[in-house]
Structure 1
Amino acid sequence: MVSCDEKKSELISVAREKSGNKDDETSIIFTEQFVKQVHHFSSQYGSDISISYTAYNVAGNPSKFPDYGDFPQAFVMRTYGCWWDKAPSKLIDYMPQNNEHVVCQDYIDVAYDREVYPIRVSVYETYNPGSVVGIWAMESNGRWRRLWSGPPQIVSHKPRIFSPPLQECKFKTRMLRLEFNHSKLDYYTELDAILLIGTSELIQPHFKFHNTNLSSLLQLLDRSTYSCNDIHNLTPDYLKTHRDLREFKNILYEHCQLSNGNVTGKIQKGMIVDKLGTDFQCIPPIEEAVQSLHKFLQEDFPKLMQDINLSSSGTRLVAAKKTGTAQPSSDSCGSFSMLPNEAVFKILKNLDLKSLSRCCQVNRHFNNIAQDALLYTSLNMKPYWYCVDGKTLNTLSSRCQYLQRIDLSWCGNYNTITSKDIQDFLTSSGTQLTNLRFNCCQFVNNSVILKVSVICKNLKELCLRNCLEITKDGFWPLANLQQLERLELYRTMIQTPSLCAILKGNRNMRHLNLAACDHILNMDDIAIQVAYSCPQLESIDFWKSHSLTPHGVRALARCRQLREVDFGWCLGIGAPGDSLRALASSCHDLEKVFLAALRGLVDRDLEPFLACPKLRQLDLLGARSLTPDICLRFLLCCTELEMIDLSFCEGINDLKIHEWQQLYPQVSIKRSFQAS
């Protein structure tokens, strides 16, 4: 068996036989650029009225690297770990079979000054690295291509420059998207900068390298890029960052050649061809579908057949034969085609949207079944954000007569879906909608909200996080909806009068997200309206609501079914007084209580929460006056407690935290680290 080193030597010697023109080497310039502009992002820990912890901090050169710790100058996202997925307000996927193995929870879109063929993308991580799971590049026509994907990682707690091996990119780009999954993180991740290295000419390894891409060739030539602790990273030692590129430039023409630019690459296996809209008309490579079908037939199909109980369903088969819906015969025993439509339909219900589109191409019989409107009552389009456009919606609309739930989050940005596209879709397919998610969608404007209010009268869930094209007056039509149970308005421009009108007409409201709604100037009015209009409320998110005061908190005590509250960074609360005591005394089912940055908190304010038997998550970050006594009481009395954040609690030293971590391993005790 040939070793890696022998293979490396063999390929290098072969390449040297085909050395390029040395006189042209000076024409190759590796352009290094840091982010010029942040275009979009899904969440940030900071707010738009501050510069601390915001997405815009990722622009420009690194400001803290290689320092390690919690720095306000970094980009920090809203969540970490599994805690938000365990909260009562957790969102449930409509169509989880559409998701890839790694679910992307956040993203950021960044732009650079010059278009280049990307060779390397380096992410400067200054705190809790390991959450980057995807890197995409955008073509000039708005089409996105994936450069790299991988799992979330558990890596050392130290500064890192993360440079994963990129796929070949045959077009120039100046726009990247980074995707994140925080499930493995102990605490918030922080990013300092994102470096893009590229060239003005497309560089490809010589054909004798058997279609090896540039990243693979670099790994082959420099084995020092490997690290058993950081296997996805080409720059595990940041002190030697990009040394391989500098050395490679000197021997570039021995191993590579220049190629004509902007050549459209082959479609990746598993992609929905190029766009979902065209995929319904043609068949992509089916290797992935064959593997999925094989797994299904081995694991799930026997159980399904047992449930259907075909062995005792002779009468159904006879009836199906009489009606022409099945054609069993003695010589086709065991054939998939002899199954009744009922069985085929149950199988197709388990398929993702890509597989359904492929089924349409099998034969006429499968085409009819795979387009049945009952298979399209729930659609999760978020995993396909990179290829969903107006044509996709137009193609789907003919199959969505019974559509009840759709998630279009992250889709349609950069004008691939227009306001008219979504209005036409809602007109044809939205009358029975109960759940609608438009998180981070630029096409959602005042006209779309008006259409929603007219067409979607049965809506129970409406998610509009980061929908910044809706003006302050655009929310008024939502007051016409009367059945809302969940409303998410994170970082929108909604104001007090329109929100009060909406709440007044929706007495079944259970989950309300008003985080970072900076245009609400009096959040106490909202809290009071909630208290009187939404008696069934289970969760409310007031995070970064600076106008909320103890008066509003006290009013929420009327919502006795509350299970989750987030008052983090509600600086107007100041000294809570008896408001938190009133809330805890009334709401005994509280499971999650976030009180981050409430500087005036004292032990007495928290004592009533000790009587909440279901308390699981408690965030006390920045409560400077708390004593170790009250924290120990929570650890002893709250038997369901799973997480407590004691970062920047100056009255509790690190030694005490370490002691508790040893004594109560069932509780995840958080403590932020900040370099001195």
Structure 2
Amino acid sequence: MGDYSYILVEQYAAEVLDFSTQYGSDKSISYTAHNLTGRPNKFPSYGDFSQTYVMRDYGPWWLDCPSGKAWRERVDCPRRSNIPTATNFVDIKYEHAVYPIRIHIYETFNPGGVVGIWAGNCRGDWKLLWNPCMTSTPQQVVSQRPRIFSPPLQQTHFITKLIRIEFDQRKLPYYTEIDAVALLGTLEPISWEAKVNAMLPSKPGNLLRQIIDRNLHILPADGVQLELNDKLLSRQSIREFSKSLVDRERSPPISDLGDFEGVPEEIILKILGYLDLRSLVSLSAVSTKFHTFSADSFLYSRLDLRDIFYCVSTATLQWLSNKCSNLQELDLSWCGNYGKLSPAMLQEFLIHCGHNLNKIRLDNCHVATGQVLQTLVKNSPKISEISLGNCHLLNVVDFQILSSLTNLESLNLYRTVIGQPAVISILCNNRKLKNLCLASCPNIDGDEVCMYLSHCQPNLEIIDFWRCNSITERGINALTHCSFLRDVDLGWCLSIQGTSGAMAHLVDCCPDLERLYLTAHRQTGDREVKAISGLRKLKQLDILGNRNVTLATIQDLLTSVTSLQLLDISFCDQLGDGNVNQLRHDFPEVDIKWSFADNN
């Protein structure tokens, strides 16, 4: 740094702007993303604390199940293998904008899930500060103890108060919990590039913008010498170069495919089909013929833009528009936020490229306005799968347009404000629905939804009612008519009376259940677990927080259900550490979860 001195600012998160998932309810502060704000309040304690931020999923379980394949499995298209795949994210805003030097992530339970740290300029531009590939150290499962994760960061050329943290919990044994995130940075730029950018006008003209985009404004720092070859600057060399350009225009080469010359076009397209989108963009600039090949609609039938959320803009969709006439699956999750992509451009893209679209994911894509949904419904008559998880900027009336569809088979509305009339209309008009997520939807009547499901959706296989307090034993009894259910999440549905016998009746009527989540059903007891013991295909069962189930019933369950792979019995009052350890010893093929809270 030479003779310069800098003021180092340490601050904690002031606000959480966006996130992909949370364990807690929006009406509470327990296990919610809001707990990331402020100083740590549980660290260095280790364990399960409601005052921390917790995501809904962990390990391979949330992908290796029917609902995971419906909503979490990525679009089947080529992607780079050397880049970590994030499954969740959270955007944190700080009070003061700084040039980041260090970030401290306070992990208080099952650490090791962080796979990316980004800095944003609040206008849709992002700079990667860290991921595991930068340190040549793959993501590893770390020891079960609290830690402050503070990886080395790349310097950013712009000042920031927005930090995105990406997670991949698929290798973690249980829920990961984050207590706080501290940002350390300087008020003045340190890197040479940052110093140059700090002197630029906030709204550069067209010419200056082109110079900036090509980094031509970044000059060498003091003392750095460029090695120039005088021969290249000679007049003779310039004349020879000019002559070669003229000759090339008059007599262009017969081919510009190199070793691909003579290879049938079908084979070339097949080979190019293994390239990810960024590679196709680079290839299109190699030569005229490769530019032509890389524009073939065959290569763009399935697009997953989530991995490149940091560079998806209006220009991206403009570049893709004339190449996606055969687009069938599109994932725009996490893309275009903070003004990087305009709703008008997304509408225009759907008008040009949505005719053959049958699957679209717009999770955390806040560019998806009510007008965008109208354009989608109007121009994509074949659409059968829609995911709008966390699109919390959509209004209640915006969802009504979805009732115009008739071919829906999968619909994800996690954490949206969809209203009861829209849900009922969708269920009545789409009789082939197989997968439905209404988790954390505050404006629905769970019992009435179940009534309509029982009459309109006999082939339903997946239903997610996570944290739906309006569903009671009345709704559960109605749900028994959906006998093909394979995946049911009733976690934190606290209005279901255990004495009614409704849950046991549901289990008896749905013999194909593979995944059943009864998280925090305080009144569920041995009667329900004995009914569950009759399921021969069950792989995952969550009865966390159960007060009544006994050890003997759990032993019978594990003995009877040989297909079981995951059993969460955390905070079950009648069990204890010793009994759980014995169960793990007796049934090693089952991953038995048992959480705890360190109050010391």
Aligned residue identity for 2:425? A
Aligned residue identity for 1:157? Q
In the aligned structure 1, how far is the partner of 2:194 from the partner of 2:546? 60
Counterpart in the other structure of 2:183: 196
> What do residues 150-204 of structure 1 show as CA deviations (whole Å, max 9, x unaligned)?
1433111111000001112222111100000001111101111000001112335
Counterpart in the other structure of 2:267: 343
Q: Does 1:513 align with 2:495?
A: no
Counterpart in the other structure of 2:108: 126
Counterpart in the other structure of 1:117: 99
Identical aligned pairs, as a percentage? 41
Which of residues 148, 157, 162 is equivalent to 2:149?
162
In the aligned structure 2, how far is the partner of 1:109 from the partner of 1:259? 23
CA shift for structure 1 position 562: 0.7
Counterpart in the other structure of 1:480: 404
> What do residues 628-657 of structure 1 show as CA deviations (whole Å, max 9, x unaligned)?
111111211111110000000001111010
C-alpha contact 1:446 1:469 (8 A) present in aligned 2: no
Aligned pairs (5 A) from 1:517-556: 517-520=441-444, 522-556=445-479
Counterpart in the other structure of 1:414: 338
C-alpha contact 1:100 1:383 (8 A) present in aligned 2: no
C-alpha contact 1:124 1:193 (8 A) present in aligned 2: yes
Counterpart in the other structure of 1:174: 161
Which of residues 59, 64, 79 is equivalent to 1:86?
64
> What do residues 204-226 of structure 1 show as CA deviations (whole Å, max 9, x unaligned)?
5xxxxxxxxxxxxxxxxxxxxxx
Structure 2: runs of 5 or more not aligned:
133-137, 200-208, 215-253
C-alpha contact 2:48 2:595 (8 A) present in aligned 1: yes
Counterpart in the other structure of 2:135: none
Aligned pairs (5 A) from 1:363-374: 363-374=287-298
> What do residues 549-575 of structure 1 show as CA deviations (whole Å, max 9, x unaligned)?
011111111111110000000011132
In the aligned structure 2, how far is the partner of 1:76 from the partner of 1:166? 24
C-alpha contact 1:120 1:163 (8 A) present in aligned 2: yes
CA shift for structure 1 position 100: 4.6
Counterpart in the other structure of 1:627: 550
Counterpart in the other structure of 2:87: 105
In the aligned structure 2, how far is the partner of 1:353 from the partner of 1:471? 33
Counterpart in the other structure of 1:389: 313
C-alpha contact 1:615 1:640 (8 A) present in aligned 2: yes
CA shift for structure 1 position 382: 0.6
Which of residues 623, 638, 656 is equivalent to 2:579?
656
In the aligned structure 2, how far is the partner of 1:579 from the partner of 1:67? 40
Aligned residue identity for 1:607? K
Secondary structure of the 1:658 match is helix
Counterpart in the other structure of 2:526: 603
Counterpart in the other structure of 1:558: 481
Aligned residue identity for 1:131? G
C-alpha contact 1:172 1:262 (8 A) present in aligned 2: no
C-alpha contact 1:602 1:623 (8 A) present in aligned 2: yes
Aligned residue identity for 2:361? R
In the aligned structure 2, how far is the partner of 1:51 from the partner of 1:99? 38
Counterpart in the other structure of 1:640: 563
Counterpart in the other structure of 1:444: 368
In the aligned structure 1, how far is the partner of 2:536 from the partner of 2:432? 25
C-alpha contact 1:171 1:261 (8 A) present in aligned 2: no
C-alpha contact 1:580 1:606 (8 A) present in aligned 2: no
Which of residues 126, 135, 146 is equivalent to 1:144?
126
C-alpha contact 1:576 1:605 (8 A) present in aligned 2: no
Secondary structure of the 1:500 match is helix
In the aligned structure 1, how far is the partner of 2:196 from the partner of 2:74? 40
In the aligned structure 2, how far is the partner of 1:258 from the partner of 1:509? 53
Counterpart in the other structure of 1:352: 276
In the aligned structure 1, how far is the partner of 2:196 from the partner of 2:15? 25
CA shift for structure 1 position 96: 4.1
Segment of structure 1 superposing worse, 589-598 or 437-446: 437-446
Counterpart in the other structure of 1:135: 117
C-alpha contact 1:152 1:181 (8 A) present in aligned 2: no
Counterpart in the other structure of 2:33: 55
Segment of structure 1 superposing worse, 401-410 or 99-108: 99-108
Segment of structure 1 superposing worse, 611-620 or 166-175: 166-175
- Name the CA shift for 1:386/1:341 in 2 (closer, same or farther; >3 Å): same
In the aligned structure 1, how far is the partner of 2:463 from the partner of 2:295? 40
C-alpha contact 1:152 1:183 (8 A) present in aligned 2: no
- Name the CA shift for 1:605/1:192 in 2 (closer, same or farther; >3 Å): same
Secondary structure of the 1:344 match is helix
In the aligned structure 2, how far is the partner of 1:397 from the partner of 1:381? 14
C-alpha contact 1:103 1:181 (8 A) present in aligned 2: yes
C-alpha contact 1:628 1:652 (8 A) present in aligned 2: yes
C-alpha RMSD of matched pairs (Å): 2.2
In the aligned structure 2, how far is the partner of 1:124 from the partner of 1:433? 42
In the aligned structure 1, how far is the partner of 2:98 from the partner of 2:364? 27
Aligned residue identity for 1:610? S
- Name the CA shift for 1:71/1:347 in 2 (closer, same or farther; >3 Å): same
C-alpha contact 1:512 1:540 (8 A) present in aligned 2: yes
In the aligned structure 1, how far is the partner of 2:43 from the partner of 2:386? 40
Secondary structure of the 1:32 match is strand
CA shift for structure 1 position 674: 0.7
CA shift for structure 1 position 98: 2.1
CA shift for structure 1 position 92: 3.0
In the aligned structure 1, how far is the partner of 2:147 from the partner of 2:328? 45
C-alpha contact 1:46 1:52 (8 A) present in aligned 2: yes
- Name the CA shift for 1:597/1:527 in 2 (closer, same or farther; >3 Å): same
Which of residues 255, 258, 262 is equivalent to 2:197?
262
In the aligned structure 2, how far is the partner of 1:30 from the partner of 1:402? 52
Equivalent pairs counted in the alignment come to 540
Q: Does 1:457 align with 2:378?
A: no
